[in-house]
Chain A
């Protein structure tokens, strides 16, 4: 056990040390990490409305607008939706921000964020603005200490993902709905967006040796995976809930990755996702991403191998997979390889200073200002995860300017020297200590700590 272990555990695996945290785990940093994986997954302290409730409200609002003959005006529909969803988005993001700042199991919180980004939906598509937080809460958080297969299924059936990747209206070309439309001279059919991203991003990975035919096969298997509603094209099912529309589902068997899935309604897709979750290429893809996130931009091959093997041997059991990551020697060597993302930087600053999380939209502005608005990575690939994606000169300057503001607000109230030791432990360098000691005033001392190379990285 080296003195650096506590700093690695709290900063690289966790979201940054809170005062006292390093001292508490200094004798058993690895065991403390393992202990975080025991017990039920942490929930948010606030009770928030179900995603289905939010979506049902939005659908009802849209139906009402239509009834008032406003429905033709697409711009107004989007505006109405934004107005409905923005408070929900704000509440959700503040709740997860608070969890990230206060959690005593911040390794698990980081894992929630990791998977949430793995299964990214982006709120620049207004249809998911109010639902992105609900998806994390309902489909990811409950399974973060479960199996990947369960998480995968929960995500792909969550209305947020179905809406984000346009699956709710994807229609089998020979389905009852398509045949009916054909008789009316209309052509409707498949949307391959969700099928493609499941293969490329969620499971096998882009190098996962699948073909365009496999993309269409999976999209076909998932036809009918939709949401319930009580008006228009979405009539049927519980409004806002996942709803399998038999009439949109492509009848017959489908071959995906060489395996035949016999006709079987929703179970066809469920079985396909289950098989994808346990595919060795999925194991390798997920292991690579985990090791890149926790260890280094260029994931050490041995660590990837160890993590992928644990995943496969346990049928995609996530705690076993995380334990392999903790057991990898590379996880504990050469610290400070990862440049913190803006969110990492914000969370660790709040934790180091024990700052409270506010209650309004403006309390979230810092994420936008530093370049990482919550739930808005802009694409289903999620936020990128290499240092070069975040350490550009303009981004760095913003961070420094922002840190200066924090220093000016709080520098007179804290002892930056002590704070540095508590937040960074063995990471804190002599150079930074010297700079803090020689600072002109408290504001500058805190600014220098927050701008130090070792606070910029994890």
Chain B
């Protein structure tokens, strides 16, 4: 199938240039790419289905206002126009700043290959990287770790880290990963630890988990993260939580000998009722996410220049609002690609429009960009995973989703 995927380059005068001479852009990319094994990548998973039409409202689309009724954001104070079509929700000031710095690309009307509307299956597909839910017990990011170029001088025990008590599917698999969550409990005594590792010696799972926990704990204590976390835990709201997690992620990634890839997740995006406009439930969540991303940038310091962050959700929400001033499960979503290494200030992908005929099954934003194309582009051009490895191991059934060039 010949997928017509024209890159729309808006803003900063890239439009004409990119279409005419893609080669120039490609060479610029290789020039800017970080040294092998030195790139950082963060995957932020928004569980619950972010309403992309609220986060990045297509206020220039003639059908938008009608579909969104009282939730339409066209005249909202603080809305940040991105180009003649899209704007950014007023609760995303850091993303707006990133856009202006050309370090944010918006991928609208994007989706995994999954087309039904179950959160849980859709998240499974977003994480397993395959075409079907439950098709694999490993995640695409874990598989990608196996194809990462490691800088020879830096022996990385764990190239990947999951922030949070559990390891999400996207990071599960054969490659060892660190996971870390703040703890207020006193550390295990050394002698007890020694005896436990003896006791676990014949238990394949527990011995590996224990070793992983120790490695992560070492990094965390060196970076003084335990103390930092507990101090930061003063604010208990969603905003404090996302920022805390982002700070921890940065603590791992900023180290020269630390992990290169981090994943964390946030929840609370399932806005079926009273989702609000510039104020309300969704606005609060967006503000928390925005603050978390700002924290990540600040804490990474100079490493931000070598960083790409992909923020994605399992699917979008209905184009029209429902009967309870919210939105139901949909299809096409919005994703964000940001970081010092991103070629931003533009939106990526075709805009399918919101007319009745354009909508997927007459109700949802029609996906035009396979999210795997974005993931593949980042893995190849930023992380440095070989194309053949990406196609055979990371995303084995993704021939319908060609690697997107020029993202970084």
Binding site for B on A (CB under 8 A): 74, 124, 165-166, 169-171, 173, 178, 187-193, 196, 200, 206, 212, 215, 369, 371, 378-379, 381, 387-398, 400-402, 404-405, 431-432, 435, 439-440, 444, 447-448, 451-453, 456
Alpha-carbon gap, A178 to B324, bound state (A): 12
List of B residues within 8 angstroms of A451 by Cβ? 196, 199
Verify if B186 is at the interface (C-beta below 8 Å from A): yes
Indicate if the CB atoms of A404 and B192 lie closer than 8 Å. Answer: yes
Asked whether B267 lies within 8 Å of A401 as measured between CB atoms, the reply is: no
Closest CB in chain A relative to B384 CB, distance in Å: 26
B69 at the interface (CB under 8 A from A): yes
Expressed in whole angstroms, the Cα–Cα distance for A383 and B47 within the complex equals 14
Say if the beta carbon of B370 comes within 8 Å of chain A: no
Question: Taking each of B133, B187, B206, which has the highest tally of chain A beta carbons within 10 Å of its own beta carbon?
Answer: B206
The answer to whether A397 and B183 touch across the interface, beta carbons within 8 angstroms, is: yes
Residues A394 and B322 in contact in the complex (CB < 8 Å), given A124-B268, A169-B273, A388-B137? no
Partner of A396, one of B184, B198, B206: B206
Contact partners of B231 in chain A: CB under 8 A: none
Also in contact, A394 and B199, with CB within 8 A (given A371-B165, A401-B187): no
Tell me, in angstroms, the Cα distance from A214 to B179 when the chains sit together: 41
Asked if A401 and B179 make an inter-chain contact with CB atoms under 8 angstroms apart, the answer reads no
**What sequence of 0s and 1s flags, for each residue 182-210 of chain B, a beta carbon within 8 Å of any chain A beta carbon?**
01111111011001101110110110011
B270 CB to nearest A CB, Å: 8
Assess the B217–A397 pair: CB atoms within 8 A.
Answer: yes
Instruction: Say whether B180 faces chain A, with CB atoms less than 8 Å apart.
Output: yes
Q: Which residues on A sit within 8 Å (CB–CB) of B117?
A: 196, 212, 215
**What residues of chain B have their CB less than 8 Å away from a CB belonging to chain A?**
47-48, 69, 116-121, 133, 137, 162, 164-167, 172, 178-181, 183-189, 191-192, 195-196, 198-200, 202-203, 205-206, 209-210, 212-213, 216-217, 267-268, 270, 272-273, 276, 279-280, 322-324, 326, 328-329, 361
Question: Which of B166, B191, B329 is most buried by chain A, counting CB atoms within 10 A of its CB?
Answer: B166
Minimum distance in angstroms from A69 CB to a CB of chain B = 18
A439-B195 CB under 8 A given contacts A191-B322, A405-B186, A456-B206? yes
- Closest Cβ of chain B: how far from A47's Cβ, in Å? 32
CB pair B199 A193 closer than 8 Å: no
CA distance A169 to B274 in the complex (A): 11
Instruction: Check B69 against A187 for contact (C-beta < 8 Å).
Output: yes
Task: Give bound CA distance, A393 to B326, whole Å.
Answer: 38
CB atoms of B209 and A391 under 8 A apart: yes
Given A206-B118, A379-B120, A166-B186 contact (CB < 8 Å): no
Contact (Cβ within 8 A) B329 A196: yes
B186 touches A401 (CB 8 A): yes
Task: For A181, give the chain B residue with the smallest CB separation.
Answer: B323
Q: Is the CB of B322 within 8 A of A190?
A: yes
Chain B positions within 8 Å of A369 at CB level: 184-185
How far is A96 from B121 in the complex, measured between Cα atoms in Å? 31
**B121 touching A206 by the CB < 8 A rule?**
yes
CB pair B323 A188 closer than 8 Å: yes
The answer to whether B119 and A404 touch across the interface, beta carbons within 8 angstroms, is no
Which single member of B137, B198, B267 contacts A378 (CB below 8 Å)? B267
Q: Are A453 and B203 in contact (CB under 8 A)?
A: yes
A431 to B206, CA, bound (A): 15
Q: In the complex the two chains form, what is the Cα distance from A193 to B274 in whole Å?
A: 13
Which listed residue (B120, B133, B210) contacts A381, Cβ 8 A? B120
Residues of B within 8 A of A392 (CB): 162, 165-167, 179, 209
Contacting residues, chain A, for B172 (C-beta < 8 A): 388
Q: Are B185 and A401 in contact (CB under 8 A)?
A: yes
Given the complex, which residues of A lie within 8 Å of B268, measured CB to CB?
124
Contact of A191 among B164, B183, B212, B328 (CB under 8 A): B328
Q: Is the CB of B322 within 8 A of A398?
A: no
Complex-state Cα separation, A173 to B200, whole angstroms = 61
Q: Given the known A-B contacts A74-B280, A171-B323, are A393 and B216 also in contact in the complex, defined by CB atoms under 8 Å?
A: yes
A122, closest chain B residue (CB): B267
Interchain residue pairs A-B with the least CB separation, the first 7:
A189-B323, A393-B212, A393-B213, A401-B185, A397-B213, A392-B167, A394-B179
Cβ contacts under 8 Å, A190 to chain B: 322-323
- Give the shortest distance, in Å, between B195 (CB) and chain A (any CB): 6
User: Which residues of B lie under 8 Å from residue A448 when comparing CB positions?
Assistant: 192, 195-196, 199
The complex places the Cα of A451 from the Cα of B194 at a distance, in Å, of: 13
Q: In the complex the two chains form, is B120's CB within 8 Å of A192's CB?
A: no
Could you tell me if B188 and A379 are in contact, using CB atoms closer than 8 angstroms?
A: no
| A200 and B118 contacting across the interface, CB-CB below 8 Å | yes
Q: Are B191 and A169 in contact (CB under 8 A)?
A: no
- Compute how far the CA of A49 lies from the CA of B285 in the bound complex, rounded to whole angstroms: 33
B205 x A391 contact (CB < 8 A): yes
- Do the beta carbons of A453 and B196 come within 8 Å of each other? no
Complex contact B200–A453 (CB within 8 A): yes
Q: What are 10 A-B pairs with beta-carbon distances under 8 A?
A: A74-B279, A170-B323, A192-B322, A193-B328, A371-B165, A387-B205, A393-B178, A396-B209, A435-B199, A448-B195
Bound CA–CA A448/B181 (angstroms): 23
Do A379 and B267 touch across chains, with their CB atoms under 8 A apart? yes
Q: Which residues of B lie under 8 Å from residue A178 when comparing CB positions?
A: 323
Q: Which of B121, B186, B280, B328 has most A Cβ within 10 Å?
A: B328
Q: Which residue of B lies closest to A404 (CB)?
A: B188
**Could you tell me if A431 and B272 are in contact, using CB atoms closer than 8 angstroms?**
no
CA of A124 to CA of B205, assembled, Å: 32
Q: Which residues of B contact A456 (CB under 8 A)?
A: 206
Q: CB distance A405 to B213 under 8 Å? A: no
- Closest chain B residue to A201, Cβ basis: B120
Report A-chain residues with C-beta under 8 Å of the C-beta of B188.
397, 400-401, 404
Q: Which B residues lie within 8 Å of A371 (CB)?
A: 165-166, 181
Which residues of A lie under 8 Å from residue B133 when comparing CB positions?
206
Given A394-B167, A431-B202, 15 extra CB contacts under 8 A: A74-B279, A169-B273, A189-B322, A190-B322, A191-B273, A191-B328, A206-B120, A379-B120, A392-B167, A394-B166, A396-B210, A397-B210, A401-B187, A431-B199, A440-B191
A212 to B328, CA, bound (A): 12
Does the CB pair A379–B119 fall under 8 Å?
Answer: yes
Q: How many Å from the CB of B251 to the closest CB on chain A?
A: 14
Q: Choose among A124, A391, A435 the residue that contacts B195 (Cβ–Cβ < 8 A).
A: A435
Question: Are B324's CB and A452's CB within 8 A?
Answer: no
Task: Tell me which residues across on chain A come within 8 A of B199, comparing CB atoms.
Answer: 431-432, 435, 448, 451-453
Specify which of B69, B121, B195, B324 is in contact with A166 (CB 8 Å cutoff).
Answer: B324
For B270, list chain A residues within 8 Å (CB): 379
Closest to B196 in A: A451
Q: Closest CB-CB distance, A81 to chain B, in whole Å?
A: 14
In the assembly, what is the distance between CA of A289 and CA of B183, in Å?
32
Q: Is the CB of A394 within 8 A of B324?
A: no
Q: For the complex, what is the distance from the CA of A448 to the CA of B189, rounded to whole Å?
A: 12
A215 to B272, CA, bound (A): 15
B200 — which chain A residues lie within 8 A by C-beta? 453
Residues of A within 8 A of B280 (CB): 74
In Å, the complex CA distance between A392 and B273 comes to 34
Are the C-beta atoms of A393 and B209 separated by less than 8 Å?
Answer: yes
Other-chain contact of A192, B195, B203, B210, B328 (Cβ < 8 Å): B328
- Tell me, rounded to whole Å, the shortest Cβ–Cβ distance linking B66 to chain A: 10
> Which residue of chain B has the shortest Cβ distance to A401 in the bound complex?
B185
Are B118 and A390 within 8 A (Cβ)?
A: no
A432 to B166, CA, bound (A): 26
Q: What residues on A are CB-neighbors of B189 within 8 Å?
A: 404, 444
The reply to whether A193 and B166 contact each other, CB–CB distance below 8 Å, is no
* Nearest chain A CB to B197 CB, angstrom units: 11
